Structure formats: structure tokens, C-alpha cells
Amino acid sequence: MPDDATPDPYADPLAFGQRMQILRTRRGLSRPVVAGLLGMSPSWVKQVETGQIGMPKLPVILRIAELLRVRNLSDLTGDQSTPIDLFVGPGHSRLPAVRDAVNALTLGEDRQAPSTQHLAARLAKAWAARHQAANHREVLGQLLPDLIRDAQLAVRQSDSAADRRAAQAVLSEVYSLSQFFVAYQPDSALLWRVAERGMVAAQESEDPHAIGLAAWLATQAHRDTGPAHFDAADSMTMEALTYMERFLPDADDRVHAIAGALQFEAAYTAACRGENGAAWGWWDMARATAHRLGRGYYHPMTSFSQAIMGAHAVTVAVELRAGGESVRQAVAADTSSIPSRPRLARHRIEEARAYQLDGQAETALATLEKAHKAAPETIKYNGYARRIVLEETESKIPARRQRAAALADQLGLLAA
């Protein structure tokens, strides 16, 4: 390794301050910017990074971890003995069965595969069940193994090129549904395997809806991996939008909805970069697409609709670290038209981030309690919610600390 190479923040025995400086530099943030976002002075940041001040307390560490988009606290603290995953939830009891189905080759299957129409109907019911259930991961964990195997078998037994393309489209969307189950569980390799297989099947299908949906999920997977993968997320989004453009004049509402969902993903990634103008510009494009679809339209996979644009506005403002604007958007958002319980819970979590960013910690906790009521399995696997709850368990205000502890217990964060 050359002498001027950037040190590896994951190599011991680097101190907390050294790791913080390296991770901050890799994200391209200056000390004054980090200080402002943390509510500290630039000299405080410098003293921490140079070791003049020791490791901060947990609430501050959690705030730094979110700002630097650290996925595991041990990456920042260097303590590998008790890692706390911020953006990876607990492994679901049905994860092994889903993993086995994904990995199966179906080479020895001698039964007749269900028809593509039958599989499409089952898939539609599975998507609906996912939106309606509070314990949506449990529901998906029951449905996915058989659905994955049957869709794989349908592709293998296709008699014609047209039948094979139709089966590939269904298989791709089965993999897309699978990503909602696998995401934020402790098997990142499985997540990427599902995402890649879904994209391959979508391309084989030549179906613009399947391709757009696979790209939408792949964009999220790249972005969630961290700032080093923002370019890959943007590339995926733009390539998919360019491909779909030729189909839009004659496309049905589903394809237009996927295009709108991808436009929002461009807004989301721009917001993560801190690009205010680009973020709101792409959000405006997505909103225009939603309005063209009409007030009553709701895409069954992405939740793209007019109703969701208010929730998306909260996310953009939060990622831009605009506390006042994010709260304004949270107050303005109409959640009454979001029929999906997990999507509503996700919106509540984004609202909680907005309130905490604005210094309204009590309201943030109350909003997370609403998220838990809507869909407990959504908040349990969400890293931002876990971070807020853990931070507030160390609040100096006893009532708030007790409220956070009760929610942490419900989420399983206090388990030994």
C-alpha cells in the first residue's frame, strides 16, 4: 500500500477520533459542516478527532453515526466485542426458509409448474397481504418459499420464448417482493443475490414494469450501502428511466408509476448528497407524475401515488438536514390515503426523524409509538427508529427516558 493511502477506519488500533476523521473525510464533510449538524463547535470536532477529548456519550455517538451513515457502531468506535447494528435488524425466524428457496435450483422437480396466470394472481395476493398486515414479514415469510420455487419452476418449464418471458417477469417481481422481506436482515449477501437475480429475470422478460421495479429496488440497495455507492444508485436510476422513456407514450399506469417512483429515488439520492436544488427538482417531477395518474391511483408494489408524495417530501427534507422544513412537511403530509400499513409506519419513522432533527424529542417518540402501532415489524427492522430510541434511553429527562425504554423493550433492543 502506498504511504499516502487513506487509512482503513476498520483496522485496529485506531482510536474513535481517528475513525471519525477518516469516515468524515471519506464522506466529503468539513469539520464546520459536521459541527453545525451536530450542534457543536468546529473546535470540539477537532478536539475529538485529535484525541484531546475522549469518546462522547452514546447519544452523541449515535448522532455522529447517522450523520456519517455508519451502519455498525463498531465501525466508528472500534469496539468489535459488542457491535450494535444500526441499519440491520434481527434475523426473522422464517429467513432460513426463504434463503433455502432462493438458493434452490429446482433441477430435480418433476411436478408440473403452475401457470403464469396462476402465479401472477398469487403474487398479487401476496403484495396485498404485505400491505395489509401489521406483521408483514411473518406473512411474507410464509408465502415466499413456495412462490419462489414455483416461479423458478415455471421459467424452467416454459415451452416458448413468449411463455418464458412472461414467466421471467413474474419471477422478477417475486424476487422484488422477496427484497422487502430480506432487507435489513443479517444476510446482506442474500439481499444482493435476490436483487441481482431479480434484475436478470427482469431483463430476460423485456417487461418495462419488471425492469423498472427491479431497478427501483437495486437503487435503494446501492444507496443504503453508503456514500461510496451513491454514484451506482444514480447510474441505476438514470439508466432505468432512459430505458423506460420509450415505452411511456403507450404505457399503462403501472409503468408510469414505476417511472415516478424512480424519479423520487433520484430525489432521495440527491438529498443524501446534500444537493438541495436537485433533490427538490426531482421530487417535483415525481409529484407531476403522481398527479397525472390521478388521486385514486396507488401502485401496489412501490406505494407510488399522490398520497405518498407528502411522505416523500418529509424524507427529502430530513436527508437535507432541514429540521424546520422537515417538520413543516410532516405537518402538511396527508397520511389518511396511505392504505399500506408498513408504508404508513415507514412514514411515521420519517416524521420522527424530522421531529428529532428539529429538537422535538418527545414528539419523535410519540410518533414512533404510532409507527409501532401501524406495523411493529417495520419499526423493529428500521435503523433510524432504533437509533432514535436508543438515544432517548439516555435522556436526562426521566419521563422521556422511561418512555424510550418501554419502546426499546417492545423492539427487543434491551434483550441480552
The C-alpha cell that represents 191 in the structure block: 439481499
pLDDT, residue 5, reads 39
How far is it, in rounded angstroms, from Cα 335 to Cα 326?
15
pLDDT tens per residue across span 97-140? 999 999 988 777 788 999 999 999 999 999 999 999 989 999 99
Residue 91 has pLDDT above 90, yes or no: no
- Residue 11's pLDDT band (cuts 50, 70, 90): very low
pLDDT tens per residue across span 213-262? 999 999 999 998 888 889 999 999 999 999 999 999 999 999 999 999 99
Does the pTM surpass 0.75? The reply is: yes
pLDDT tens per residue across span 274-333? 999 999 999 999 999 999 999 989 999 999 999 999 999 999 999 998 889 999 999 998
pLDDT tens per residue across span 179-192? 999 988 888 899 99
Residue 42 has pLDDT above 60, yes or no: yes
Residue 159 has pLDDT above 50, yes or no: yes
Domain borders along the chain are: 16-77, 92-206
Percentage of the chain beyond pLDDT 90 is 64
- Residue 232: name the closest of 196, 194, 204 by CA: 196
Q: What is the mean pLDDT of residues 8-17?
A: 60
Helix, strand, coil content of the chain in percent (nearest 5): 70, 0, 30
Fold of 16-77: 434 Repressor (Amino-terminal Domain) (1.10.260)
Mean residue pLDDT across the chain: 89
pLDDT, residue 62, reads 81
Residue 403 has pLDDT above 80, yes or no: yes
**Residues 38 and 27 sit within 8 Å (Cβ to Cβ):** no
Q: What is the mean pLDDT of residues 29-57?
A: 87
Higher pLDDT, 41 or 9: 41
**Residues 114 and 154 sit within 8 Å (Cβ to Cβ):** yes
Sequence letter at residue 85: D
Sequence letter at residue 382: N
pLDDT, residue 335, reads 80
